[in-house]
Amino acid sequence: MEQKTVDLWHQMLNSRKPEMLNDLLGDDVVFHSPVVHSPQVGKAITLKYLTAAFYVLYNDSFKYVREIISDHHAALEFSVKIEGIFVNGIDLITWDENDKIIDFKVMIRPLQAINLIHHKMSVKL
């Protein structure tokens, strides 16, 4: 099973270079936010959301705790502590035959974490 896209995703996070997202995302990628009802379509808006999320969520406590990967799909469960609040979430990623991400969905729990992330993302965006 090929998981080049997931490996590149981890490389982007570990190197702390969100600019690598530009090469990871397909032109027609769809982003599903945990706090915005309608899907966000296109590379430009997805770059904006994922770059903001990188700065909001990715700190020294961030870690992936479980990964389920198939041919073109991955579910990456993460945990992070932000301002004393425990955030548990899942990144659902789908990529195409060119290893470009074409769909990215973020789910977060509990409600206290959703409210915090909503506020912090609003500030970044």
Q: What is the CATH number of the domain that holds 102?
A: 3.10.450.50
Other Cβ atoms closer than 10 A to 92: 15
Residue 65, CA distances (Å) to 62, 68, 78 in order: 9, 10, 6
Tokens 């904006």 identify what position? 48
Mean pLDDT estimate for the chain: 94
Q: Convert the pLDDT of each residue in 15-47 to its tens digit.
A: 999 999 999 999 999 999 998 889 999 999 999
Cβ–Cβ under 8 Å, residues 30 and 41: yes
User: Tens digit of pLDDT for each residue in 41-74?
Assistant: 999 999 999 999 999 999 999 999 999 999 999 9
**Residue at token pair 């959703």:** 114
Beta bridge partners of 95: 101
Q: Please give the structure tokens belonging to residue 99.
A: 């290893």
Q: Which range marks the domain in which residue 76 is found?
A: 4-124
What gap in Å lies between CA 90 and CA 64, rounded to an integer? 9
**Count of structural domains within the chain:** 1
**Those residues with Cβ within 8 angstroms of residue 15's Cβ, 6 or more apart along the chain or in another chain:** none
